């Protein structure tokens, strides 16, 4: 049942079913009354003073005299639209909006899908006022996603890069790594970053539908250290994955400064995927600036983006664990770009938070439980180099497998 929105007071009063009054004055005794904040009536982006408080143990802001005690619609819009990011000039070392500047961090709800929690509270109140109202529950979902920044550690790097790596190992006395490099290049050992068959097996066994993002920068420089898209084995890797899974582009660092490069990379992934139309994306290094990044993606035909999250901490950047349509605040208009926010990335745990695998596992469980409680969509990011045999990342593959088999499995295979 789709809700009907009206500004006709007579039509509202004559409606006999459940209704929400979003205005300053109560109209009917049998209604849910929400007194609005000014935010949703504004046509430009303005600074707002946010004062948070706790109502029944739940963080809220934009408080009012309505039945909920706050404007849930304006507060949700503020968080999901990333309103604060349009007003902030703060940047981290990579030119990204820092999590430390966010309201969620300052008010300590960054690890909660607060908008989902509010939605559940809204449902409870609606059921109390309108006992006959039918509201089907949302389906709890898990979407495993993988960023393939560097498909292979030693293999297919080319003579120049492998020679450089060879001398680097010699100069640093990294004899074990040197031996491994030689064995892999000669085809005697599996590449440390090659975990693709293992992932295939576990996805099939647990009936998972992953999404893979491939970095295909034409120039390998700076933060873009991918295998060349001209490499035949890398091409075959992308093609094989596109035949079985959803495949997206992983726009390079360079693409942030050139629409021509972005366009080329989308076309490359499409070509290597068997001439598929690529509509899925996630920014390399989670480098995103609003509204510019999303506008560029829309211009190039991207329909789903998985970048919404932080590259420094695990949690909920938009305070929501569900896909949503992006609203361009600067233009004050809705778009058709669907955003899939993630809340856990192992690189944050390892590089930024310096966590052990046990600590990261516990945090992952905590986030998973928070999303499960509200029947949200739990999206994770893993990189192939964490799931291979590189000694630097020992234990991470086992941690991920433990999560999939012990935490996830029983939630999705209870009838088995």
Q: What is the pLDDT of residues 242-254, one digit of tens each?
A: 999 999 999 999 9
Q: Are 316 and 343 in contact (CB under 8 A)?
A: yes
Cα 336 to Cα 353: distance, rounded to the nearest angstrom: 35
Same structural domain for residues 232 and 162? Answer: no
First-to-last C-alpha distance (Å) of the chain: 33
User: What average pLDDT does this structure show over 325-351?
Assistant: 99
Residue 167: what pLDDT?
A: 46
Does one domain contain both 36 and 162? no
DSSP class per residue in 100-135: GGSHHHHTT-TTS-HHHHHHHHHHHHHHHH-TT---
Regarding whether 405 and 385 lie in a shared domain, the answer is yes
Residues 197, 174 within the same domain: no
Q: How many residues does this entry show for the chain? A: 416
Task: Kindly indicate the confidence band of residue 411, based on its pLDDT and cuts at 50, 70 and 90.
Answer: confident
CB 44 within 8 A of CB 332: yes
CA-wise closest residue to 103 among 123, 121, 83: 83
Instruction: Check whether 370 has a pLDDT greater than 70.
Output: yes
Q: Which candidate, 300, 303, 299, 305, places its Cα nearest to that of 284? A: 305
Q: Which residue range forms the structural domain that includes residue 73? A: 9-129
Residues 317-343 have a mean pLDDT of: 99
CB–CB of 311/96 below 8 Å?
yes
Over residues 74-108, the pLDDT tens digits come to 999 999 999 999 999 999 999 999 999 999 999 99
pLDDT at position 30 is 93
- Please indicate, yes or no, whether residues 312 and 226 belong to a single structural domain of this protein: yes
Mean pLDDT, to the nearest integer, of 114-132? 97
- Average of pLDDT values for 276-300? 98
Give the separation between CA 228 and CA 20, rounded to whole angstroms.
Answer: 56
CA angle (29 as vertex; 23, 35 as ends), nearest 5: 20
My answer on whether 113 and 168 are in the same domain is no
Are 357 and 223 in a shared domain?
yes
Q: Is residue 134 part of a domain?
A: no
pLDDT for the residue numbered 186: 54
In whole angstroms, what is the distance from residue 119 CA to residue 28 CA? 23
Question: Is 33 within a domain?
Answer: yes
What's residue 189's pLDDT?
A: 74
Is 378 in the same domain as 282?
A: yes
Model confidence at 178: pLDDT above 60: no
Burial of 406 (0-12, 13-18, 19+ CB in 10 A): exposed
Domain count, the chain: 3
> Judging by DSSP bridges, how do beta strands 304-305 and 324-328 pair with one another?
unpaired
Over pLDDT 70: what percentage of the chain? 91
- DSSP, collapsed to helix, strand or coil, labels residue 290 as coil
Summary mean pLDDT of the chain = 93
Kindly state whether residue 176 falls inside one of the protein's structural domains. yes
The number of CA neighbours under 13 Å toward the Cβ of 75 is 27
Contacts of 74 (CB under 8 A, 6+ apart): 36, 37, 39, 40, 62
pLDDT at 416: 38
Residues 226, 287 share a domain: yes
The verdict on residue 233 lying in a domain is yes
Rounded to an integer, the average pLDDT of 284-297 is: 99
Q: What confidence score (pLDDT) does residue 3 get?
A: 85
Same domain, 349 and 295: yes
CA Rg, the chain, in Å? 24
Is residue 124 domain-resident? yes
Asked whether residue 135 is assigned to any structural domain, the reply reads no
In tens, the pLDDT along 371-382 reads 999 999 999 999
Joined together, the tokens standing for residue 73 give: 């619609």
Judge if 274 and 310 occupy the same domain.
Answer: yes
Following DSSP, what letter does each residue of 143-195 receive, concatenated?
Answer: EEEEEES-S-SSTTSHHHHHHHHHHHHHHTT-HHHHHHHHHHHTTSS--TT--
**Dihedral of the alpha carbons of 125, 365, 377, 196, in degrees to the nearest 10:** -170
């Amino acid at each position: 049942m789709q809700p009907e929105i009206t500004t006709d007071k007579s039509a509202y009063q004559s409606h006999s079913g459940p209704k929400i009054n979003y205005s300053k004055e109560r109209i009917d005794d049998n209604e849910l009354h929400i007194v609005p904040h000014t935010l949703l009536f504004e046509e430009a982006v303005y600074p707002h003073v946010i004062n948070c408080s706790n109502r029944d143990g739940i963080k809220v802001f934009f408080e009012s005299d309505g039945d909920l005690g706050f404007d849930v619609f304006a507060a949700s819009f503020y968080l999901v639209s990333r309103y604060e990011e349009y007003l902030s000039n703060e940047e981290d070392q990579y030119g990204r909006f820092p999590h430390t500047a966010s309201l969620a961090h300052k008010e300590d709800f960054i690890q909660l899908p607060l908008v989902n929690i509010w939605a559940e509270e809204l449902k409870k109140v609606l059921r109390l006022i309108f006992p006959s109202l039918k509201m089907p529950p949302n389906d709890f979902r898990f979407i495993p996603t993988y960023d393939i920044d560097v498909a292979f550690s030693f293999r297919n790097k080319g003579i120049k890069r492998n020679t450089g790596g060879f001398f680097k190992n010699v100069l640093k006395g990294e004899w074990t790594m040197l031996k491994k490099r030689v064995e892999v290049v000669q085809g005697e050992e599996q590449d440390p970053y090659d975990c693709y068959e293992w992932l295939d097996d576990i996805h099939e066994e647990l009936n998972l539908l992953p999404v893979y993002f491939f970095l295909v920068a034409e120039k390998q420089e700076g933060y873009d250290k991918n295998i060349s898209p001209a490499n035949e084995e890398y091409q075959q890797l992308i093609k094989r994955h596109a035949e079985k899974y959803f495949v997206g582009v992983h726009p390079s660092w360079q693409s942030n400064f050139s629409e021509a490069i972005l366009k080329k990379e989308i076309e490359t992934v499409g070509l290597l995927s068997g001439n598929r139309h690529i509509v899925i994306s996630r920014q390399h290094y989670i480098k995103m600036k609003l509204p510019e990044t999303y506008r560029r993606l829309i211009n190039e035909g991207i329909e789903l983006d998985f970048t919404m999250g932080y590259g420094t901490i695990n949690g909920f950047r938009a305070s929501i664990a569900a896909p949503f349509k992006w609203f361009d605040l600067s233009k004050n208009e809705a778009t058709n770009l669907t955003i899939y926010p993630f809340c856990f990335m192992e690189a944050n745990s390892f590089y930024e938070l310096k966590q052990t695998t046990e600590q990261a596992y516990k945090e992952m469980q905590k986030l998973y439980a928070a999303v499960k409680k509200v029947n949200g969509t739990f999206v994770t990011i893993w990189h192939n180099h964490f799931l291979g045999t590189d000694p630097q990342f020992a234990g991470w593959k086992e941690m991920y497998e433990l999560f999939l088999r012990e935490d996830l499995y029983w939630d999705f295979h209870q009838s088995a």
